[in-house]
Chain A
C-alpha cells in the first residue's frame, strides 16, 4: 500500500520512477569519480566505496532518496557536470533540509541550463525509514511523494 510524504519542492515537477536509496548521506564527489575523472559518459557507476548500498550501482537517471548530500564543495560542479553528460539524477528526494552542495548544483543547473533534477527536501525521517531501493515513486509538483 502506497504511503505519502509531504516535503518542500525546491525544484518542483511531476514524475514517476523507481527509488534508489542511500540511507547514509550521499557523497556526491566520491560517487562520481569514474565520470568526473575517467571519461565515462555512458553510465554512472557509484564509486563511493564507503556507501554499501550504492557502490557499483548505476546512478544514471535514478530517483535518489537520501538524508542529504555530503562531500567536497566541488559537488555542485559535479551535479552540473553529470547532468551535462546525461547521467544525472531524475530526481533527488531528501529527508532532511537540503545542503548547500546539492542546492548549489541543482539550482544553478536548472536555471542556467534548463536541466531540472526534480528536488524535494524535508520529507522527514519516516520517509527514509520507509523507502527502499526499487520502490515505485510518484512525485507531484506540490512536494508530495508517494512511495509504493
Chain B
C-alpha cells in the first residue's frame, strides 16, 4: 500500500507544528531510502490495545513522516543506529562503565541545596541529572547569549510553557538577553485566507502565552525572531571558544562550525534550563575530543557545488559524526566567511542537520578550527567520502516529487530556510525583478515568500528602497515566520505546490527543491523548465 493510499485525512482542526529543526535519525544514512522515498512497504495499521484512536496518520502529518527519522534501512529493517543527537557518539557505551561523575563547585552545590530558591534548585537538579546521563564531569559557565527553539505554541507544549512561567514568576531570567526561533505563522505578510487564519488560531492557542514568557525571561521583541540568530542584523554571534547551550539544529551547527562557539545539539527545553542557570554540562561537541572529525569530505565538483545538495549528501553519509570538508575554500575569497557568502555555509550546514544530525562541520581553509589545526582535526581512522559531479547528480535524483498533483504547476516559491541573509534578500530581489523586466512582466507568476528576520527586511527598506518597492509590486513578500512549520499546516500539501531553494525545507515538506536559476525562471513563468 502506498503512503498516499494509506493516509487518510482526519477531520482535525489542527496544525502540524513540527519543530522540525529536527534531529533526524540515521535511517537516511546512505543506507536508507531518500527522503520522501516511495513507501510501498508501509504496513497496514494494526489497531489494538483497546484504543479508540483510528491508528491513521493525520493527513496534515504525512510529509513529516516522509522525513528520514524512522531508523529503517532500504530493506525496511532497523539500521541499528546508536546516536545521542548531541554529537557525542555513545555507540560502545555500557552500563558497567557508566558512572555519575559530575562534580559541582561550592556555588553550584549551594544552588542545588536550594540557597537560591526552590525553582533554581530544581533546574540545577535537572542539569546535573542530564549531565550525568552523558558522562559530563563538570558544569561550565556560559557566555555570549542563548538561542532557544521553543517557538511553537501548540497545546502539547503546555507543560513546558508552565515550567517556564513558574521560573519567570520566581524571578528567574536568562543570564543574557537571548534569541528565539521565528513564530510558526505570519498573519500579516502571507496571504492567509479565512480558513488559514482559523487553523492558525485553533492550532496555536498557546502562542501568546509562549511569546509572553519569553519576554519575561529576557528575549527581545519579535522583530528579532530568527533561526539565523547569528546574522549581523540579529547579533547573537558569540566569540570563538565561548560555551553556550543553543537549540535549533541549523544555528547550532553554524555556531559551532563558523563562529567556533561550543554547544551541544540540545533538545527543546534544555536550552532554557541552561539559560536560566547560566551553566551547561561539559560533554560532546563542547570538548576537544568531541570536535574531532570522523569523515573527510573530498569535494571535487567541476563548478561551485549546489550547497543544499552537498549538505544533504554529507548529512546522509555522516549522520551524527563530525565531517571535515575539503575542496570548497575556493568559494570563500581569502578563506573568509563574510555577510556576502555566509549563506553558502548556512545552506550546506542546515542540510547536514536536517538530512542527518550533524552538529559541527569543519571546512578546510575557511572555518576557524581547521585554520588553526588543519587535518590534525581528523581522527586516525577517518573515512573518506568523495563528492563529485556524478555524486551530486545522484543525490539530486533522489529528490522525489511529493506534490499531490505531481504534474501541476507550482503555486508559490519559498525562499530562505534558514532565514535569508541581507545579501540573499537583495540577490533574490534583483534576480526576480530583473527577470520580470526582461520578460515584460510587472508581477511574478506565483507569489514569492522571502523568509527573513524583520531586521533584514527593515534594512532592505532603508538601503534598497526602490528595489524593495519593485519586489513588493512583483509579489515578493518578506515574512519572518518559520518556513518548515508553515508548510506543515493542515492541508498545505493539497493546496500548495511549493518550490524552494532550501534543502532543509525539502526534507520536511512536500515542497520541491530546485537550483536558483530554475527557480527564477519558474517564478517568472509559472512553469518548471529544467
Residue numbers in A under 8 Å from B90 (CB-CB): 96-97
Interface size on A, residues (CB 8 A): 71
Q: Which residue of B lies closest to A9 (CB)?
A: B95
Residue of B nearest to A98 (CB): B133
- Whether the Cβ atoms of A111 and B3 lie closer than 8 Å is no
Give the nearest-CB partner of B45 in chain A: A56
- In the assembly, what is the distance between CA of A45 and CA of B125, in Å? 33
Q: Which A residues are in CB contact (< 8 Å) with B408?
A: none
Question: Within the assembled complex, what's the spacing in Å between the Cα atoms of A42 and B160?
Answer: 20
Cβ contacts under 8 Å, B55 to chain A: 45-47, 55-57
Is B51 located at the chain interface by the 8 A CB criterion?
Answer: yes
- Partner of A25 from the list B20, B48, B78 (CB cut-off 8 Å) is B78
A83–B156 Cα distance when bound, in Å, is 10
| Complex-state Cα separation, A112 to B118, whole angstroms | 10
Please give me the residue from chain A that is nearest to B93 by CB atom. Answer: A97
**Residues 128-165 of chain B: 1 if any A CB is under 8 Å from the residue's CB, otherwise 0?**
01100110000000000000011010111111100100
Kindly report which residue of chain B lies nearest to residue A122, judged by CB atoms.
B95
Question: Are B94 and A73 in touch, CB under 8 angstroms?
Answer: no
- Mask: chain B, 247-268; 1 = CB below 8 Å from A; 0 = not: 1010000000000000011111
B159 touching A83 by the CB < 8 A rule?
yes
A109 surroundings in chain B (CB, below 8 A): 159
Q: Please, how many angstroms separate the alpha-carbon atoms of A112 and B52 in the complex?
A: 31
Which of B65-73, B234-242, B309-317, B446-454 sits within the interface?
A: B65-73
Question: Of A10, A84, A98, which is within 8 A of B159 by CB?
Answer: A84
**Which residues of B pack against A, CB within 8 Å?**
3, 6-7, 10, 12, 14-25, 27, 39, 42-43, 45-58, 60-62, 64-65, 69-72, 77-86, 90-91, 93-96, 98, 122, 125-126, 129-130, 133-134, 149-150, 152, 154-160, 163, 203, 247, 249, 264-270, 273
A-B contact pairs, 8 of them (CB 8 A): A25-B78, A50-B39, A58-B51, A70-B71, A81-B158, A103-B130, A104-B268, A122-B98
Interface residues of A (CB under 8 A from B): 6-8, 10, 23-25, 27, 29-30, 32-40, 42-52, 55-58, 60, 67-68, 70-78, 80-84, 96-101, 103-105, 107-109, 111-113, 121-124, 143
